[in-house]
Amino acid sequence: MQNLLYLLPALVCPLGMVMMGVVMWVMMRGKPHNNTGVLAADQPSVPVPEADRLATLHAEQDALYAQIQDLAAREPHLDTGQILHPSR
């Protein structure tokens, strides 16, 4: 019985490593990658025209600018730096 207690950690450690490897393999298997290394879910299924994408980015930029200005007005002690609205 005493020998079994000494042998137990030696048997459990490799078994735990194998189980960890299986878990990592299963997790990586669920992420489909294309040949560019970018997740397939990040790319739209239909191409988006550049003008539409640019308009979306400008809208996000305007929303972020508005949030920064609101925060600067509510919390004057915070340093928001020289954040200027971009001219297009």
Tell me the pLDDT tens digit for each residue of 69-87. Answer: 888 888 877 776 666 666 6
Instruction: Give the mean pLDDT of 32-43.
Output: 57
pLDDT at 41 over 70: no
- Give percent of the chain with pLDDT exceeding 70: 70
Phi-psi category of 75—alpha, beta or left, where left has phi over 0 and alpha has psi -120 to 50?
Answer: beta
pLDDT of residue 22: 93
3-state secondary structure of 28: helix
Q: What is the pLDDT of residue 29?
A: 85
